[in-house]
Structure 1
Amino acid sequence: MKPLALTMGDPAGIGGELTLRAWLALRQTGPVFVALDDPGRLDYTAQKLRLAVPVRAVTDIAEAASVFSQSLPVLPTRLPVMPTAGQPDKANANAIVDSIKQATFLALAGDASGIVTNPINKAALYKAGFTYPGHTELLAALSGVPGQQVMMLASPLLRVVPVTVHASLRDSIATLTTDRIVTVCRTTEQALRRDFGIVSPRLAVAGLNPHAGEQGALGIEEITLIKPAIDELRADGFEVSGPWPPDTMFTAKARACYDVAICMYHDQALIPLKTLDIDHGVNLTLGLPIIRTSPDHGTAFDIAGMGIAEATSLVAAIELAGALAARRGA
């Protein structure tokens, strides 16, 4: 399998430390990955945190596999300003985005088997003119499928997919449509079959309102938007249930009844996933022509540079990307 491409994320956050710790965890077993980062800043971070990680700049991604067991391979993406832990600098914004672009182009060209993205700070990028709501929208644009991206968060305990993502709650409700619910469910079902090997995926669709609207007494979106989507999917042979009351669908007993929870907005999906299993949660983008995963947490500026960051989620993201690539034969 070809190496995975790992982006730098925000260099003022914990991404560098996570990259180093991920290599320590995976250097003997793989999956092999190459960091698209500034080798000087990774070497400095390793020395500062006393992590025994030899950093090696490589000229192309093919070289990564041959050196991975002995050193962390890095395709250089130079930073114009050496970062200060916990203090994002818009001067580095272009390098952060370039790292994402390079990784995506490597995967689109077939030189990388997939990409794994370290956390970015969108607010810091916005100050430098970044125009996308987040990672997923940028990746969809770079891949030529804008608007087709779907976010899934997965852990051994739960998989969730929000229908609306990077928008305020008010805007999420306003933009929720039957067609969008149907599209997200179709993309999710296809991914569960292809990438997770689930022959007959079971989709549980959450309601929007308390008690799933209480038959219209607490809201009508379940009747006007969500139920029509479920009916259309069932007519096409999908195994889909709902609308589920959001406050009861994440119990252990309920989770045994489905393979993925389709949620109406960001926090409805991410709060239960992160509460149940934030350490092993992985963010993956469905609907792209490439594999993309990411840890399910942010830049953690408050602990950057302290040497206490946990790389469990990034390791899980790398391992999942490797597993998906192996399943696809990438």
Structure 2
Amino acid sequence: MTRHPLCLTMGEPAGIGAEIAAKAWHRLRAAGPVFFFIGDPVSVQDAPVALIETPEQAAEAFSQGLPVLPLSLPVVPQPGRPNPANAAAVIAAIETAVRLCLDGRASGVVTNPIQKSVLTGAGFRHPGHTEFLGELAGRGVPPVMLLACPGLRVVPVTVHAALADAIRSLTTDLIIEHGRIVADALRQDFGIARPRIVVAGLNPHAGEAGTMGREDIEIVAPAIAALREAGIDARGPLPADTLFTPRARAAYDCALCMYHDQALIPIKTLDMDGGVNVTLGLRIVRTSPDHGTALDIAGSGQADPGSLIAALHLAADIATSRSRDHRP
């Protein structure tokens, strides 16, 4: 177990963040990991609240109630109806969590989902959490999104972009950069001494020797060669349509995918409720449930906390692995 608690940000106040935080506390109160919620205490309806003034108080309070480091909202949230007036508080919760981790008072950040359209309307200039966290706590490399569930880890090289734009932006250097960051994270954060990385082809059948596009020959294959020259066990490009079978998954530790859906479809098919989003390339530990704000069911009591619980467990595991490794 980590010495310090985890921070859980409130995310979009009109979404399911407070509900799944309360449900996660009920399931974890006996065995942990210990975490505290940064947000408005009034929004927590389904668990006793233990107000805290510092992260250090979370461990003692955890068995009695969900520890809440209070951050008041200017407008009372209405389930399913985001209000731009609360956007600044949402951003402040993220900034507070990162600062506490950088100061060594929390072991990691777990972020509840945000409603990016609302934040953008309030002047937020980042595409999402990942890029914002890279600015707040980056290590000089672009932050990389890894999705994990039992039995599979995937990384999309291009993320939130139209498919045509993703293909245009794919470069050999971009694949190399992601491969190096992933290999380092698998060693540091997941305790895998000799990481095995497979690289999916961009085109059907990995281009089939150039008959279905030359990107896999001219862009992807040179990146794999460079990674191998750097001592990284990288293989491919391999056809994505056979890369995620049970037999195939047993032969690698992470799949490097060329675009968003190539990575996210298999992991959400395998474990929609237990998938976790991990940001690599930061000075802090950051995980997140692999789902959105679920505005359509907010306030109904139907939200499943499974992915949040998995995110809390994985954040604690990564923090423990880093503490053994003694690296930021």
Deviations 1:46-83 (A, max 9, x none): 2xxxxxx2102211111111111111111111111111
CA distance in 1, matches of 2:141, 2:320: 27
Identity %: 57
Q: In structure 2, how many angstroms separate the alpha carbons of the residues matched to 1:144 and 1:319?
A: 23
The alpha-carbon deviation at position 145 of structure 1 amounts to: 4.0
What secondary structure is seen at the aligned counterpart in 1 of 2:279?
Answer: strand
**1:24-173 correspondence runs (5 A):** 24-42=26-44, 45-46=45-46, 53-145=47-139, 148-173=142-167
Q: Is the 8 A contact 1:137 1:146 kept in 2?
A: no
With the length of structure 2 as denominator, give the TM-score of the two structures.
Answer: 0.96
2:226 corresponds to 1:257: no
**Residue type of the partner of 2:166?**
S
Deviation at 1:147, TM superposition (A): 5.2
1:12 maps to 2:28 = no
The structure 2 residue matched to 1:306, chosen from 267, 287, 300, is: 300
* Equivalent residue, structure 1, for 2:5: 3
Contact 1:6 1:103 in 2 (8 A): yes
> Which amino acid counterpart does residue 162 of structure 1 have in structure 2?
P
CA distance in 1: counterparts of 2:193 and 2:122, whole angstroms: 45
Distance (Å, rounded) in 2 between the aligned partners of 1:263 and 1:16: 33
CA contact (8 A) 1:211 1:246 kept: yes
Cα deviation, residue 144, structure 1:
4.0
Aligned positions, number = 322
5+ residue gaps, structure 1, are: 47-52
After TM superposition, the structure 1 stretch with the greater mean CA deviation from structure 2, 249-258 or 111-120, is 249-258
Looking at structure 2, the residues matched to 70 and 193 of structure 1 have their Cα atoms a distance apart, in angstroms, of 37
Q: Is the partner of 1:329 in helix, strand or coil?
A: helix
- Partner residue in 2 for 1:192: 186
> 1:243-297: CA deviations, max 9, x gaps?
0111111111111111100001111101110011111111000000100000011
Q: Paired residue for 2:207? A: 213
Structure 1 CA distance, aligned partners of 2:272 and 2:190? Answer: 20
Residue 146 of structure 1 deviates from its aligned partner by: 6.3
User: Is the contact between residue 201 and residue 207 of structure 2 (CA under 8 Å) also seen in structure 1?
Assistant: yes
CA contact 2:34–2:58 (8 Å) conserved in 1: yes
Look up the match of 1:229: 223
In 2: Cα distance, 1:167 partner to 1:40 partner: 37
Q: Distance in 2 between matches of 1:95 and 1:157?
A: 37
Secondary structure of the equivalent of 1:247? helix
Runs of 4+ in 1 over 6 A off after TM superposition: none
The secondary structure found in structure 1 opposite 2:296 is helix
Partner amino acid for 1:250?
F
